[in-house]
Amino acid sequence: MSFALGNRANGRGNAATAERPDRYKWIALSNTTLGVLLATLDASITLIAMPAIFRGIHLDPLQPANSFYLLWMILGFLVVSSVLIVSLGRLGDMYGRVRMYNLGFVIYTVASLLLTIDWMTGRAGATYLIAFRIVQGVGAAFLLANAAAIITDAFPANQRGMALGINNIVGVSGMFVGLVLGGLLAPIDWRLVFLISVPVGLFGTVWAYLKLEERSQPRRAPVDWWGNVTFALGLILIMVSVTYGIRPYGASQTGWGSPRVIALLCAGVVSLIAFVVIEGRVENPMFRLPLFRIRAFAFGSLSTFLSAVARGGLMFMLIIWLQGIWLPEHGVDYVDTPLRAGLYMLPLTLGMLIAGPTSGYLSDRFGARWFATGGMLGSALSFVLLSLLPIDFSFAVFAAVLLLMGASMGLFASPNRAAVMNSLPPQDRGAGGGMNQTFQNSAQVLSVGIFFTLMILGLAANLPHALAAGLQAHGVSAATAHSASNVPPVSILFAAFLGYNPIEHLVGPHALGSLSAPNHAALTGRSFFPQLISGPFSTGLHEAFLFAIVACLIAAAASLMRGGNYHHADEAGARRAQSR
């Protein structure tokens, strides 16, 4: 009898041992998904809240001298996370992925709290917010660099597509969920867009420290300082050049030809070339160049970069389209356009949430190649359909196209991420996952620069004449109208992006005060500005979408070249051993 009891006890022990890993993988997935959601949500929540933030710190974002603060409030978070992800993924391989991930939760939560207590106003207040947005980006980089590797360590190879699909799609959709949250919270108090992350971050931090297990085998190695410095410097210089490239320079509507931008770009390229040379010679490089010999990793990462280039500027274009033109023309007050814009883009999120986990699950059985390729082709088709829509579209058709776009993005993102992570040796999952995430984040910053540049060039071709003629038709003097028409198109673009009617800025209160009541009401109402920029905006939009279509098609070709379903040899060997 004691023998039987012993067997039962041993059986329970074996069952508990067998169940523990199964329970743990869901803990790892849910916690890392929460972390990735927070990191991506905060990359977008400030976009919709920007007017309320600048009103709260008493700074006019439409003054040319303040465009620096506007741009870095938008891009600073993305720039720093792009720069650090590879280094932090490599540190996760060396010192423990869970340790690095947990530290990221702490940094992120503390930065979110400090962002809510900005007591300064004007440029000092904006500088404070930018500084701690960058610190918040550091925390997000810790989370993003190690989340996929933690999931890959926790799940067997035949379930990673589903798990990484859920994690990746929730992360991508967080970009669009942030728009809705920003629109809901900012009208109440702009500080709430940062404060909302604090209790969630605290919960996630405690949960991670208590429950996450280190399943990797950290391998201590000397830090590749020269590689880290040259890589970070190169990316920072190139991304800073993007922020100056979309601002006017002299008589040019963009700054891409300015000595500053050219110098920044050249210095960034030289730094990255030095980085590649260093990585080929040091014993323990941060950037594992030999990983590109793995076909699935190389072409998966290339398609990641191209897909992010295609979609990175899409959110900005949709916000400008909705906030600056479509919603005001349909009777929505400018104060209410941020929330409404976020809500009207929910079909995009819905498509991703439906297609992402489903395609990830199916790719575990049938491989990623055809799902990811089909997703990129569907994205190209979606951009074609968006470019065919009139500026004053039917919302039902617009929502259907966004649903298709979201489903196509989900169809690509989940299988592609799973294929990339499955192709990596276990000891390089942190570095490889960080490299893949860096391609995605840096491509988004580049995409914003490309989309804005194409849009600015489209506006510059037609806007000055349309603005001068429209103002004079409503009683504004020729001299004042001509002066207003010389405003840089980027300022008009920022106004549309923020949901502002910039006519008072352009014409001036004195000139507006001298107009008749009907002309004054027409210029400051909801219709004049949207109708004024509709034509020039449409020209720029078609150029931007054409670029996105080409990027999606090249990404589809790259995805097709990844080969069949591939898992690293170590994992294949483990599966064969289990099958025996």
Asked if 307 contacts 555 with a C-beta cutoff of 8 angstroms, the reply is yes
Q: How confident is the model at residue 134 (pLDDT cuts 50, 70, 90)?
A: very high
Q: Using 50, 70 and 90 to split pLDDT, how confident is the model at 547?
A: very high
Q: Give the tokens for residue 457.
A: 């060039």
Q: Are 445 and 82 in contact (CB under 8 A)?
A: yes
> Which percentage of the chain shows pLDDT scores above 70?
93
Q: Render pLDDT for 54-102 as a digit per residue (tens, 0 to 9).
A: 889 988 877 767 777 877 887 788 788 878 887 888 888 888 999 999 9
> What sign for the dihedral angle of Cα 162, 175, 420, 228?
negative
Confidence label for 260 from pLDDT (cuts 50, 70 and 90) = very high
- On average, the pLDDT of the chain sits at 83
Cα separation, 451 vs 544, in Å, equals 5
Q: Which residues, other chains included, contact 60 with Cβ-Cβ below 8 Å and sequence gap of 6+?
A: 54, 66
The winner for highest mean pLDDT among 5-14, 77-86, 387-396, 555-564 is 387-396
What pLDDT is recorded for position 346?
87
CB of 287 closer than 8 Å to CB of 86: yes
Which residues, other chains included, contact 54 with Cβ-Cβ below 8 Å and sequence gap of 6+? 60, 61, 70, 126, 498
Q: Could you give the CA distance from residue 364 to residue 344 in angstroms, rounded to a whole number?
A: 33
Q: What are phi and psi of 252, to 5 degrees?
A: -85, 145
Where in the chain are the domains? 2-223+286-460+534-579, 461-533
Which one has a higher pLDDT value, 179 or 478?
478
AA letter at 98: V
The answer, yes or no, to whether residue 20 has pLDDT greater than 70, is no
Q: Which residues are within 8 A (CB) of 542 and not within 5 positions of it... i.e. 6 or more apart?
A: 387, 458
Q: Where does the pLDDT of residue 221 fall: very low under 50, low under 70, confident under 90, or very high at 90 and above?
A: confident
pLDDT band at 564 (very low <50, low <70, confident <90, very high): low
How confident is the model over 467-485, as a mean pLDDT? 87
- How confident is the model over 350-370, as a mean pLDDT? 84
Alpha-carbon distances of 335 from 288, 323, 539, rounded to whole Å: 49, 10, 27
Pinpoint the alpha helices (H) of 280-394: 295-311, 314-319, 327-329, 337-344, 346-366, 369-388
C-alpha 28/C-alpha 20 separation (Å) is 12
Q: 3 falls in which pLDDT band (50, 70, 90)?
A: very low
pLDDT band per the 50, 70, 90 thresholds, residue 361: confident
Phi, psi of 2 (to 5 degrees): -60, -35
Backbone angles phi, psi at 249, to 5 degrees: -140, 120
Please list the residues that pair with 249 across neighbouring strands: 252
- Whether 19 has a pLDDT exceeding 70, the answer reads no
CA distances from residue 277 to 129, 236, 287 in whole angstroms, order as listed: 37, 19, 11
Top-level CATH class of 2-223+286-460+534-579? mainly alpha
Could you tell me which of 321, 379, 342 has the C-alpha nearest to residue 541? Answer: 321
- Reply yes or no on whether the pLDDT at 14 is more than 80: no
The closest alpha carbon to 535, from 395, 398, 392, 399, belongs to 392
| Lowest pLDDT segment from 11-20, 246-255, 370-379 | 11-20
Please give the distance of CA 142 from its chain centroid, rounded to a whole number: 16
